Structure 1
């Protein structure tokens, strides 16, 4: 795998630049005044218009930092009330409470933005979801591949295999945390392996699908993926503090530091070059902005209703399929919910809601083993918002 400078996307792209051009911010989420109450583990918990699951949500934060996480910021909402809380510490070894409005790595929640962008372009007639990606990006796939539609990239039924990274072990990945992998090279490595299965017959969740979608966006718009995301998604949602860092490994502005538990010791992994994840997972955001994304999207303010159905439709006839265009279908205590989780070293993130937004949750957790503990983090900090009384 070739390591390249990849400076083309090293400049931060934020919604502020787009709003300066006159693109409207849409409807922002209006937050009621917060009441601050004592918290646990050196942090603080805030409460807003008691949510029916407030006690369970509050209990999840007790004791932070602990073996699973050093900090957590959770916001639950819906028609029956709101609750938000934060606990833990901003940095291990200090007594500074966790930053409730800080920036963090959103990981694969980036895919929600990418899917929304592609669907918006489809609504505008610039992308045909049934058209093969080979016709948009000739030469990208080898002749071994049967036609792969844009829709199959969106719902992970393309059959394209993952590219190679810096190794599978923690030690290898950590050693290369400041190095750069060109996303196009990652795609080429996956394509070189040949198809994993016939398109549309299985579902295999992979970043490579969304990297190709970003390449397609740039081809049909003549602009960078980041510009398209800002103009068509971040701007309409009012996501003013969301950005794409490119090769910059730092988190700028207030943030909680992330850690990985290695041999019983916490290793600081806050600085990390995630440019190889690009449109599949390199976004930096805030709880406020992700809540705006979720509510604006589900209400049809970003993607028109006909195309929005793609985000709530899993591929038919594919055994075990749970993923749609950018989202995933879950069932929690008998309640069907839709959302997306994300994990990068040191950071777990999720946006989850019922389709009618009667129950919602957004969280940012600095998990001590973000990838391995993803499900456990969700069960602890997200699931309580949807449990039945």
Structure 2
């Protein structure tokens, strides 16, 4: 459904073309915001809740998953800019005795996923395993998840030598932020990013199971169908993925970040530097090249019942953020990638 076009002129490819790309994403519901200079397109597809005909709200909130990592990384880099910590500090300095070989793993290596630490996500079961459904309202601590991960040996021996994505890295960064500042990572994100940028639809919910305000309902598979997993305790994700946001807020955040409003230029450059040669992931930020050879920077996130994607060109002139509630008939990644490509390359 075409929802809104706010523009000084018509976007070059037309709203119908953008809407068609969103409609092609396999999902219960989807919401997107595309920006091209001063022109803004907002649209939705599908339904907000299964069993209803209720349209997806254009300002719908959703769980943004690993896009949380970019917020966490930005706070860490701000602390580095303030001289309160260094990117090359060993983990042992801030979390003594927590991480085996912590004296040889740096904060930078946590940020760019070259630590080699085992991913705590791989210690959890997924549907249709019956234990998975007990996670819905369970409260987890970062220490508990970290301990589960570190019970496993590292996936490679030399920190910094390889890229291997691990959510454990960001749980540790959340703990380091608290050690440096005396406040939780959620409080620091609220104070440094959410409030100053006016991200009114964005929150770090902690252990609250609810999504406040208008939102998409999310689902996970069970017994050949789908069950509502909108309510869930986001401590399962913690600093690696608990963020709730909107398409508008994520575009605003990435415009501020890539536009140099949140970090000194040297640290923004560090953020865009891959951890390994030829890589596409820096310090909490990823990137890829579109079909028209325009590079976009941002992140994506999988929060079980929600998937979110937010990318912008380096000059922030063009941006696209999409959130979907998967229907599990197909992986939405390819269709969303095509939508992003169409939005950037029109």
Please report the TM-score for the alignment, with normalisation by the length of structure 2: 0.91
Task: Give deviations 1:33-82, integer Å, cap 9, x for gaps.
Answer: xxxxxx3xxxx43222232234431112347xx8x212111111123733
Change (3 A) 1:145 1:200: same
Are the counterparts in 2 of residues 343 and 374 from structure 1 also a CA contact under 8 Å?
no
Matched, 1:170 2:131: no
Contact 1:330 1:337 in 2 (8 A): yes
Q: Flag structure 2 segments of 5+ consecutive residues without an equivalent.
A: none
Superposed, which structure 2 residues align to 1:120-139 within 5 Å? 120-139=78-97
2:226 maps to which of 244, 262, 266: 266
Equivalent residue, structure 2, for 1:53: 13
Cα distance change, pair 305–235 in 1 and its aligned pair in 2 (3 A): farther
User: Does the C-alpha gap of structure 1 residues 46 and 306 become closer, same or farther in structure 2, counting only changes over 3 Å?
Assistant: same
8 Å contact 1:51–1:77 — kept in the other structure? no
User: SS of the residue aligned with 1:376?
Assistant: helix
Does residue 82 (structure 1) correspond to residue 40 (structure 2)? The answer is: yes
The answer to whether 1:154 aligns with 2:111 is yes
**Is 1:357 aligned to residue 316 of structure 2?**
yes
Closer, same or farther in 2 for the Cα pair 1:322/1:62, shift >3 Å?
Answer: closer
Contact 2:217 2:325 in 1 (8 A): yes
Separation in 1, partners of 2:123, 2:332? 21
Aligned pairs (5 A) from 1:276-287: 276-287=236-247
How big is the shift at 1:299? 1.1
Q: CA deviation at 1:311?
A: 1.8
What's the secondary structure of 1:382's corresponding residue? helix
Task: Report deviation, 1:210.
Answer: 0.7
In 1: Cα distance, 2:337 partner to 2:36 partner: 19
Cα distance, 1:347 vs structure 2: 1.1
Instruction: State the Cα distance separating 1:169 from its structure 2 match.
Output: 4.0
**What are the Cα deviations for residues 89-121 of structure 1, in whole angstroms up to 9, with x where unaligned?**
221222221111121101111011001000000
Distance of 1:116 and 1:369 partners within structure 2 = 32
**How has the CA–CA distance of structure 1 residues 342 and 61 changed in structure 2, closer, same or farther, with 3 Å as cutoff?**
same
**Is 1:96 the counterpart of 2:96 in the alignment?**
no
Where does residue 270 of structure 2 map in the other structure? 310
CA displacement at 1:126 relative to structure 2: 0.7
Q: Deviations over 1:175-233 (max 9, x none)?
A: 32211222211112222323222111000111111110110000011111111111112
Runs of 4+ in structure 1 off by over 4 angstroms are 261-264
Q: Which residue of 1 aligns with 2:204?
A: 244
Structure 1, unpaired ranges of 5+: 1-38
The equivalent position to 1:376 in structure 2, one of 331, 334, 340, is: 334
Q: Say what the alpha-carbon RMSD is for the aligned residues.
A: 2.1
Residues 146 and 199 in structure 1, CA contact (< 8 A), matched pair in contact too: no
Indicate if the aligned counterparts of 1:107 and 1:283 stay in contact, CA closer than 8 A. Answer: yes
Cα pair distance change 1:308/1:319, threshold 3 Å:
closer
CA distance in 1, matches of 2:4, 2:221: 28
SS in 1 for 2:12: coil
Q: 2:94, 2:22 → 1: CA distance?
A: 47
TM-score by length of 1: 0.81
Match of 2:250 in 1: 290
Q: For the Cα contact (< 8 Å) 2:135–2:236, is it kept in 1?
A: no
Residue 195 (structure 2) aligned to one of 219, 222, 235: 235
